[in-house]
Every structure is written in structure tokens, then in C-alpha cells.
Structure 1
């Protein structure tokens, strides 16, 4: 199937996918704890029967049952050596289902088979140990076997990490030219577990060349309407919706999805009305659901694609809209070793403390984008750039501008950047234009168009315009659009050329009014060699903003410059510019300017931005009686901030410095570390922090505790464990990301945690709880097919007469389910688990 054929199909009709596989296999006798792919190979007729029924129900695209057929997942079952055979045989079964269905149908139809990929369950570096390139290779291996088996296209589904979506998409694109669909799973707040919102997801993935994007699993159709609407606003590709048949319930000791086919169809049709052109069913859906849905949508016209044409940069968790005539934006210029001896020395030592300090300070001062340049002698620039991107994206929620003179450096950074970045820059120089335009297209980046050629600077404004047109035409030939381009006004010094400012202003006006292009300038060049340069810079900036300048590369700590920009927006009558100006000049110094107005609608959390609330958390004094006075000491404040900001590299030196102030190690733990992790939990609850930040903060605290532990001497200083917790992912379930985070959090709070891992038998859980006289048994499950094991553990605990209370959690678990099976508590995430356990034990 070609990409063109795929697009034609989606324009002709509402494309119907298949329904659930796992829940139907379990109904057919598949036990918990087995590898689903292996069981289906051992019971092929069960799968073939189900897939034939889906085809007869109207399915256009059938998912081959290769969902967890990657090497990492198969290793968990001891089946990695069978990866080739399993993937190819599973596709063969789907092909057999298609052939048999066609033979049995009066009017057989064309059915396409999609090779199915999903997450590996391992955390990517720097949160985990799995490197991005390793993950790409894991996906490429499975893709190669699926291609040998003859799949027609690929689907990457049930994804929670945008970065893993990128890895899988790149793996497909670098292996073949077949169409690719990607669906993510979103929580109730319409963000993934890793904090990605629908607009960020569709912006990044469609710019990278995916053929359809959407949502599957985690909720019924009613919970997907807003997600589909948000995606559709900006979608240039079809939007997918594959909901569950409602939420699972426990009925007569069986996990049941209670939404029947009629209700499921009524609600799923609303997803088509919201903009979904490709639909199907996930957990709990059956061929009856698909047949009823097919009858309801077969005569409907596919939604048209009329997206809002916006310039959008993103991180993994935030989309930054760059509207025509909107708020003027600042690209922070400080992360650049030129002229900074201290930064140069740190980079030679592989230290990124100043890099992160510059990033944090610029964000606090009001930067909207961070320029990152690692160009200097004595280092491997490519490696250093990659590490800098890892460091900055670990805590900052500002998009990055990747700045280098070398093509390989830019590509290496774009490859691992978990969002949509800006390239600085692409000129008409032969190497730049020939190599960087395809790279910008491949990684979905925006780029700064620099009007230079191999001849050097343009001699006049006419030559500058000619260069702009030439690069613009080449960009469009490479599949890029005008919304992907920001033209550099190419500022020269007015001291050498009296007309320099006028020529730049004319370039800005021309690009805005005649070409519809955004513009940027490197501001400080205009005043080079002149005294009192700040007055020239700020005045020139005001004139440029009046002509329509979109953004400037500048130092956001320069108050005159920044206040001039806010005042220029005010005088230009830009939307909400009056409020922004008042906030800027009245709240400085020390206030973080709310940037909600620059975020795409749907990504904000409240009237205060996430950056503002995060800053407040750092400055907040804990409710603990002694903490306010303690935090007046700079060393103590830095320890507290290190946990909130996830400064794992710095925390030990900061703890050492705090101890030199003459306090006991227990004070550092009780009055600094624990209150800080409490604030992190609150940020996570408010959806200001997401999984990577929560893990980073928890790892920072663990590092500090590991250092402090030998210092907590016997007697007064020895910390007593709060209680003993036995924790496990239940039998048959090999997911442990959430469980591992709970373990980390509980240990940080002083609990004695016995982690049994994943896919743990109920017998082993009970035996361990008995052996250690556990106070708590904590159980996790991510799949509807394994959640019943929790009830089994509770029954066995009661029979054994254990005192332990049972706390449960996981993606498919709800409070009502906890009540039904008699659990002592339910926690929706790691932070809440600590609270629930403390409450249940009266701590």
C-alpha cells in the first residue's frame, strides 16, 4: 500500500479498523501470564475466527497481532530468539483470515494488514537507561520481519511517550515507504502519562511525515471527543479514534466492558462528527460492536482537512503558537560558549551546570525559546550538543533553537529532541541548502532562513530578496511550507552602514506583507562599535516590531530591551499586550511572566502558567514549623530547589554545603528533602509536572538520601522505617513503569519497600508479605486481562489472616473497582500512593 493509496482511501470513506484482540482472546481461553503472541500461535484458529468476523463486520484495516512482538517485550517471556518466526507467522495468520473471509463473503472487499508496534516498557535516557538509537534499532528489527511477512502498512499504537512515537516513526521511515498510523493513549486530563497534549502530538508527528494520528484505548468514546477536536483543529492528516467499550467493571468475578454495540456506536459516531476519519474499537469491543458501527458510518462523508495554518514549536509537553501579529517572542541567546571562559571550561570537562543555569535564568527572565550553541574548540561539538539537549529538555518547557555551523551537529540534536525544534539556520550556501532542507523535513523542524550565499553577504536589498525567494522555492520543493520558515532580517552594524537598519526594516516588512513569512533578527549586531549600545538596540527593536518582526535572538535579562518589547506590543494594540506590559513592569524583579497567551489553546492548566506555579513551588515555605526559618539560608534553599528541579548532578554537593551550616543530617532529610518532594507531588497532581519530571525529582532525592544514610548514626539520628510495603505488578502483567515510580517514592519517604517486580504470582506475594510481616501489599495492573488477580490476592490475604492492608492502582483501575474487590485503598499515581498508604496506616 502506498502513501498515496492510503490518502485516497481516507478521502473516499470513513475507514474502519478492527476491534479488540486481547480481551477477546481471554474470553476464548487465553490464560493470564502467558505471552499473548505465543498463545495465539498455539491457538491459531481462535485468532483467525475473530479476525474473519471483524472483516465480515466491515473492517478495512486489520491489525496483525504483533503488538508486543519487539525484542524487549519478548525477552520478558524468554522468547527473544523467536522474534523472526513469531512476527512472520502472526502476519501469516492474519493473511489467512483475510483469504478465508474473502472466500466466504458474497462481495469480498480489499482488506489491508497493518504491522502493529507499541511501547517497549523501558524508560528512555536520560530518565532511564535505554538510548534513543537503541530503541530505533529495536523497532527496526521488528519492522524488518513484518516487511518480510508482507504487511501493507504500520500502526504504532497505545503510546504514552511522544519520544517513543518519534523513535518508532523514524524506524519505519528509515526502513520502508509504507504508510504509518500512530495513536496515543491519553489520561482524563487529555494528556499522556508523559505530559503530551493532543496538539503537541499531532504537530510533531504530522510534521515528521506520519500518515494519520489519533487516540486509542484508556477510555470510552465519550472521553475522546475533546481530544479528537483538538487534533482536528491543526490536522493535515486523518485523525484516528479507537476507543474502548467504556470502562471495565467487575461482574461475577469477570472483567466486563458494559457498553453494548448500540451505545458504543452512538458515542463513536460523535467522534466522526468531531473530526475522526478513521475509527475502530479497542479493549472490550467485539465484531458485533464493529458491525453496528460500520452500518452507522458507511454512508457518512469523511471529514475534510481545513486546518488552522499556524506556526507551532513544541517541547514534549507544550506547544508554542507563533501567530501573525501576536506577542513578540524572545529567543534566549545565552547558551553559547563564545566569549564565556567559564562555560568553555565546564564544557571541556563535560559539565553542564552553567548550561542549565543559563537556561533556567533565561526562562525566568521571559524567554520564549532557547537558542543552544555548543560551537567551540577542544570538544566534540556533536556529542556536547546532544548532551546539552538532554540536560535542558529534562527540566525546561521552552522549545529549543538548534544553532550550529555543522550539518551533522544539527541533525544529531534534532534526532533526539522530543518535540519540534527551530534550526538556526539554513542559507543558500551549497552544503547548507542541499543537506539541511531534507533534514528539516525529516525531523519536522522549523528553520531560520538566512539570506546568505556562497558569495557572502548580499550586496543590496534586491539581492537579499532574491536569495530569500531561492531558498523559499527550494524549501517548498522539499515539502516544507511557509509556516515552517522564519526569515532572518540579517542585521548589519549601523556604524559601518548608515542604511543598515532601514534595509533590515524593509526586509521585515517585505517578508510579512508580501511573502507571509515570519521574521527574526540577531539584535545586538545593529549597535556594534557604538557607545551605550542598549539605547540603539531597544529603539531599533521597537521600530522592527512596528514593521512586523516576529522574534529576536537576544538576552532576556536586559530589562530595557525586554520592557521595550512589551511596550511596543502594547502600543501596537496586540491582544492582551496591556496586561502583559503591566505584569512585566510591576512584578519585576523576580516574577515569572505568564506565557499562557503564547500556548496553543488547550495546553494551559489555569490562569497561572505552569512556569509560574513551578516557581512558586520553589519559593514556597513548607508547613513544617522549622522550615521557613531554615529556608532563609541559601544552602538550604538550594537543596530544596534541587529536588524540585531534579538537579541530580548537584544535589550531593548542595547537601554537603547544607550540613556544613551545622545542622544534623536528619534535619536535611526531614525539613528539606521531604517537603520538597511533597511539593513535587503537588505539581504532579496539578498536571504541571509529568512523569519524566517526577522521576527526575525522585531520583534526585534518592541520590541525596543515599549520601545521607551513612551519616544517620544510631540513636537520635537513625531514621526508623515508617512501615513495610510489599509491592508487585500482578501475575500476567509485565508493565512496571508506574510501579517502579511508586517504589522510588515510597523509599524516599522512609518506607521499607520489598519490590517483587512484575508478573508476580499471587502465592509469592502472600508468602513474601507473611515472611516480612508486611503492613501494606501494593498491587499494580495495567491490563484489563490481569486486574482480576488483585481480587485473588485479597482473598488469599484474608485466608492467611495477614494484617497487611491492600492498596491497588494502575491505568485500568478505578476507585469503584477497588471498592468492589474489597481493597483497602486506591491510588491513581505515585504521589497519591504515598498519601493513601500513610492515611491507611494512620501515619
Structure 2
């Protein structure tokens, strides 16, 4: 790890527009790797870091050759959920380290040959499990993301990019796994978070961009932004929100438009010039610090983006944060037009006999219905307290916090005198 190189990346984020690469998977597949190259794990692109580093190198070289400042490592699926589906979860560190090492070697070669510093962003993808829906335990995901990040730090990544996130609990697992890796290794890298907002206007599980910002910014990320799912046009209003309210720097890596189905399958219609136009406008309007491409974008797309934004200085932003709390779905500002913030207390085992009896009987649906009653009556947030003598508070909190997270649109106020109970609710 080079402290001077990482300091230079932070300085670049602060003073100009940094350009990242575009799509990775399609360019790997275009080189027609064999089933043997995949070690009979067809579609596991991260295996190519070990079996065919030449293919992975060639993709990085193609992007650096058109002038991008940084490339993402071929580690999008180097996490517990994705590698677990191939029955190789124990290879998270190995494939993360090898992916970062390949990118680092290519970046250093281009730095030496051009005299311009190039960087490596360590890609931490979402995997295939949504912990909010109970697909995988939060702690296991977090600890595997820590190994993912530790591998990329060992391989020479300059920043950690938590990307394409669809579930805020999965996003937290990745960010906190990254931060634990930085603490464990003594490294000091920027942590970037890029969420994916669908054409519906929310993340996959229904989270608005305000909910994402309120939930993720306090975790200490250096930058927040959007990537994947849509083209730049559909990202516009969400980027406007981030530019207006985020204390961090802001990024955007859209697809080359929305996919169009044709007789030869899906293709992405946005031309290189149109992507360059969009990024120029984003930089001028929203002061973006990092731009790039996602699905459907090619080296030619990024060549034109580089030409268009290379000499732009992002305007200074004057963010106006909105202090608040968030549920899975929406953020609730602490400042209310009604002049006070109403916290519903009827889901408190010490304050509500009806709730306590339902909890003691394991009538969880009744507990959820009491929460919904308070939503209908105008509460802004819900107090959740399961403390009761003789009960397993951790088990009760896991049961009810998990149910409330998806059944209620309101933020939850976790209320307990016991630290393990609060931890269970947060996880």
C-alpha cells in the first residue's frame, strides 16, 4: 500500500473529476473463456483472476489505454453469497487478492509509461442474498466482506468500492466489513458506496434515495453515488438529491441506457457521445467527483467521457443535510412541520400490556399489527422495547426487529438497557 498514491487519489477526488472504467463482465465473456478456464464453474468470472490473468489484464489495459484514471477489480462476485453458490466460499480472500494484484500491476505499468498516476478501485458486489429478507445472516455476510476487503488491500487496491447494492442491510454488511478490514490491516483507503436505484424510483427492496443516504452516510463512507439498473436520465433526480443533501462526495456510473430487447437479445442503446453529454451535465449540475460506466459501456464510451470531463472543475457544493432517522423505505426528518416528532410507544413491552402479552405468547403478527396501528395514527417513528424479566431479549429483538423492518415504513427506535439486545436489533 502506497500512502502517497492514496493521498493523491483523495486529492484528485477533492479537486477534479476522476474517471473510472466501464463494463467488465461482457468484455471477459467476449474473449470466450473455456469451461476449463472457469475450473468447471461456468460464469464465475473471479476464477479467471487465477486461471486466465491475461484475459483480465487485457480488459484493464483496454480501459487505461483510453485514458481512464482508475479501473475496478474483477472481484464483483468475490463474496460469501456469490462464491457460496459455486461451493467455494473459502476462496474469497484468494480471488480478491489476485484480482486486485492484476489491476495493480496494470495500473503501475500505465503510471510508469504515461507519467500519469492510475488507481485501482476494489469492487465489492452485492452477492445474491438479501439479509433483510432472511436469505443469509448479516454477521456471516459482514465477516466474508471483511475477507473480501482484506484480500484487495493485500493485492494493492487504492479504494474500496461497495457497489450495485440493493438491500440496505447488505450494504451495511459490506461497508462495515470494509471498515473492519481497514482496522485489521492498518490501511487507510477511501470507502465508496454506490447504490442501485431501479426504474421504480427505489432500490430493489423499496428504499428511497433519502433512506439510503440517511442509513449509510453515518457509517463513514467517503463518497456515495449510484450505479447500474438505469441509464443517466433515470438517475438525474436521485443525483440531484444527493448533491443537495450529502456531506460526502458524489459519484455516478450509469448503464448505457435502459436495455432494448431485439432479435439478437438485449442491447444498450446509449451512444458514447450521449454518455459523455450526460456526465458533463452531471459534473456541471451536481459537482460529481467520480464518474464511469456500468452495463453496456465500452472503452469507446469511456474514451469520450474522459475527453469531455478531463478539463472540468466540479463546482463547489453547498450541501444542506437533513438530520433524521430512516426505515428500510423512507427517511423521516427530525424537524417536522407539526413542530414535534411523534414516537409511537405502544410497541414497548414495559409500557403496553397488550404488546407484552402478545410477545410473551409469541403472537408476532399481533405485535406487527400494533405497529401498523400507530403508523395509521400518525407516528413518525416506532419505539421497540422487548425487555422483560425472564425472557431471552436477544431472541425477541431478532424476531420483532426483523419483522418490523419490512412490515413498517417508519424508522425503528431500538429501546433497551441491554447492549446485546441493541446489537441484535441493529444486525
Asked if residue 124 in structure 1 is aligned to residue 131 in structure 2, the reply is: yes
Going from structure 1 to structure 2, the CA distance change for 1:246 and 1:354 (only over 3 Å counts) comes to closer
Using the alignment, how far apart are the partners of 1:367 and 1:254 within structure 2? 48
Going from structure 1 to structure 2, the CA distance change for 1:6 and 1:321 (only over 3 Å counts) comes to farther
Using the alignment, how far apart are the partners of 2:324 and 2:229 within structure 1? 27
Using the alignment, how far apart are the partners of 2:8 and 2:247 within structure 1? 16
Q: Which residue of 2 aligns with 1:264?
A: 275
Asked if residue 365 in structure 1 is aligned to residue 377 in structure 2, the reply is: yes
Would you say the 8 A contact 1:235–1:305 is kept in 2?
Answer: no
RMSD: 2.5
Would you say the 8 A contact 2:328–2:406 is kept in 1?
Answer: no
Q: CA deviation at 1:170?
A: 1.1
Going from structure 1 to structure 2, the CA distance change for 1:324 and 1:102 (only over 3 Å counts) comes to same
Q: Which residue of 1 aligns with 2:401?
A: 389
Say which of 303, 316, 328 aligns to 1:304. 316
Q: Which residue of 2 aligns with 1:720?
A: none
Q: Which residue of 2 aligns with 1:48?
A: 57
Going from structure 1 to structure 2, the CA distance change for 1:103 and 1:309 (only over 3 Å counts) comes to closer
Using the alignment, how far apart are the partners of 1:13 and 1:43 within structure 2? 35
Aligned residue pair count: 412
State the SS of the aligned residue for 1:214. strand
1:61-102 per-position Cα deviation (integer Å, ceiling 9, x unaligned): 321111101233123234444433322222221122113323
Would you say the 8 A contact 1:116–1:155 is kept in 2?
Answer: yes
Q: Which residue of 1 aligns with 2:350?
A: 338
Say which of 3, 11, 27 aligns to 2:14. 11
Would you say the 8 A contact 1:277–1:303 is kept in 2?
Answer: no
Larger radius of gyration: 1
Asked if residue 111 in structure 1 is aligned to residue 118 in structure 2, the reply is: yes
Going from structure 1 to structure 2, the CA distance change for 1:14 and 1:333 (only over 3 Å counts) comes to same
Which residues in structure 2 correspond to 1:395-410 (within 5 Å)? 395-410=407-422
Q: Which residue of 2 aligns with 1:156?
A: 162
1:717-740 per-position Cα deviation (integer Å, ceiling 9, x unaligned): xxxxxxxxxxxxxxxxxxxxxxxx
Using the alignment, how far apart are the partners of 1:396 and 1:161 within structure 2? 16
Would you say the 8 A contact 1:24–1:284 is kept in 2?
Answer: no
Q: CA deviation at 1:194?
A: 0.9
State the SS of the aligned residue for 2:241. helix
State the SS of the aligned residue for 2:217. helix
Say which of 43, 51, 63 aligns to 1:34. 43
State the SS of the aligned residue for 1:283. coil
Using the alignment, how far apart are the partners of 1:394 and 1:264 within structure 2? 36
Using the alignment, how far apart are the partners of 1:260 and 1:366 within structure 2? 48
Q: Which residue of 1 aligns with 2:305?
A: 293
Asked if residue 62 in structure 1 is aligned to residue 71 in structure 2, the reply is: yes
State TM-score, norm by structure 2: 0.88
Using the alignment, how far apart are the partners of 1:285 and 1:337 within structure 2? 53
Q: Which residue of 2 aligns with 1:221?
A: 232
Q: Which residue of 1 aligns with 2:109?
A: 100
Asked if residue 23 in structure 1 is aligned to residue 37 in structure 2, the reply is: no
Using the alignment, how far apart are the partners of 2:265 and 2:357 within structure 1? 63
Going from structure 1 to structure 2, the CA distance change for 1:361 and 1:61 (only over 3 Å counts) comes to same
Using the alignment, how far apart are the partners of 2:418 and 2:43 within structure 1? 50
Using the alignment, how far apart are the partners of 1:229 and 1:41 within structure 2? 41
Would you say the 8 A contact 1:225–1:274 is kept in 2?
Answer: no
Going from structure 1 to structure 2, the CA distance change for 1:219 and 1:341 (only over 3 Å counts) comes to closer
Q: Which residue of 2 aligns with 1:167?
A: 173
1:746-781 per-position Cα deviation (integer Å, ceiling 9, x unaligned): xxxxxxxxxxxxxxxxxxxxxxxxxxxxxxxxxxxx
Q: Which residue of 1 aligns with 2:185?
A: none
Q: CA deviation at 1:353?
A: 4.3
1:128-159 per-position Cα deviation (integer Å, ceiling 9, x unaligned): 34111121122122222222223222111111
Which residues in structure 2 correspond to 1:199-218 (within 5 Å)? 199-218=210-229
1:328-359 per-position Cα deviation (integer Å, ceiling 9, x unaligned): 33111112222655544443454434432321
State the SS of the aligned residue for 1:338. coil
Using the alignment, how far apart are the partners of 2:85 and 2:222 within structure 1? 31
User: Of the two structures, which has the highest relative contact order with CA contacts closer than 8 Å and spacing of 6 or more?
Assistant: 2
Q: Which residue of 2 aligns with 1:505?
A: none
Q: CA deviation at 1:241?
A: 0.5
Q: CA deviation at 1:169?
A: 0.7
Q: CA deviation at 1:410?
A: 2.9
Which residues in structure 2 correspond to 1:475-486 (within 5 Å)? none
Going from structure 1 to structure 2, the CA distance change for 1:84 and 1:376 (only over 3 Å counts) comes to closer
Going from structure 1 to structure 2, the CA distance change for 1:26 and 1:191 (only over 3 Å counts) comes to same
Going from structure 1 to structure 2, the CA distance change for 1:338 and 1:249 (only over 3 Å counts) comes to closer
Q: CA deviation at 1:57?
A: 2.6
Using the alignment, how far apart are the partners of 2:353 and 2:276 within structure 1? 65
Using the alignment, how far apart are the partners of 2:408 and 2:127 within structure 1? 26
Say which of 249, 252, 257 aligns to 1:241. 252
State the SS of the aligned residue for 1:34. coil
Using the alignment, how far apart are the partners of 2:119 and 2:164 within structure 1? 20
Would you say the 8 A contact 1:124–1:131 is kept in 2?
Answer: yes
State TM-score, norm by structure 1: 0.46
